[in-house]
Amino acid sequence: MTTNERVETVYQYELNTINGENISLSDYEGELLLIVNTASECGFTPQYEGLQELYETYSDQGLEILGFPANNFGGQEPGSDEEIAQFCELNYGVTFPMFSKVSVKGEDQHPLFEYLTTAENPDFKGEISWNFEKFLIDRNGNVVRRFKSRVEPMSGELTNAVTEYL
């Protein structure tokens, strides 16, 4: 590796939580991460319930779920961070970390999602096509799996991948 090359991981990104606190994803180093772009007015919104169940099932083994509200698809996340946080807590009892609303595609795409959608593995490359796409990040900060919106959080496909990497 030359001095100009550097290995990229999710740990190099800093973001704001939904409550306005700036944190580095390096705070999650050593944890298995499931990064999800979310929306409150989507047909997949009930997946919040499954994400919370997944979190409660595996968080004590090292799984962290990170939710990123995005308004990129059909205006399905129009609310403010405060409204989104309240919606998630009241309707789905969400206790996993939620972040400030970001753009997950297009000219204003957040750098984290640019990284996630251009990962070296060709199976994970490509623009996010809808809300509730999920990226599984291993304990070293690398993208290891990607799940489309239709993959339910508690499905065998996703839970098997989680247990494989825990």
- The residues annotated as belonging to the active site are 42
**Which of 112, 109, 90 is closest to 35 using CA atoms?**
112
Contact indicator for 66, 34 with CB cutoff of 8 Å = yes
Q: Please give the backbone phi and psi of residue 15, each rounded to the nearest 5 degrees, phi first.
A: -145, 165
Q: Does the CA dihedral 16-17-19-21 come out positive or negative?
A: negative
Tell me the HSE value of 68 on the side-chain side, using a 13 A CA sphere: 25
CA distance 164 to 166: 6
SS3 148: coil
